Amino acid sequence: MGRTIPSWRMVVEGELEKLKRFSQFLRSEDRVIFDDLLNQSRLYASYGSTIALPVKEIPLLLSMIFGQHKRLMELEKRINSTSLRDSAIEIQTLSPQG
């Protein structure tokens, strides 16, 4: 007997292939961004497989959103650490030398 239910990775690849049609109509610079967004689904596909939902697009979208949110949080950390470092340098330059 063969498998009747495809693996989640196969489902992800099949759905992403359908979504690639959208990218054909994007400008080349936008296509790179869209491909990166689709790649987020691949990165977190194993996590998406844990959500047993009849609508397979929800885990895909959740993976994309999670990947984007993770990137935003990493950028916020970098901005905050840069701001703190810049503030410390500014304080040092303003403090009287004695």
What pLDDT tens digit does each residue of the chain (98 aa) get? 556 777 888 888 998 999 888 999 999 999 999 999 999 888 888 888 888 788 888 888 999 999 999 999 999 999 888 887 777 777 777 666 64
Contact predicate 67/44, CB 8 Å: yes
pLDDT of residue 75: 93
pTM: 0.71
Integer CA distances (angstroms), 33 to 4, 27, 61, 81, in order: 35, 10, 15, 27
pLDDT of residue 96: 67
pLDDT of residue 32: 94
Q: What angle do CA 70, 71, 76 make, to 5 degrees?
A: 100
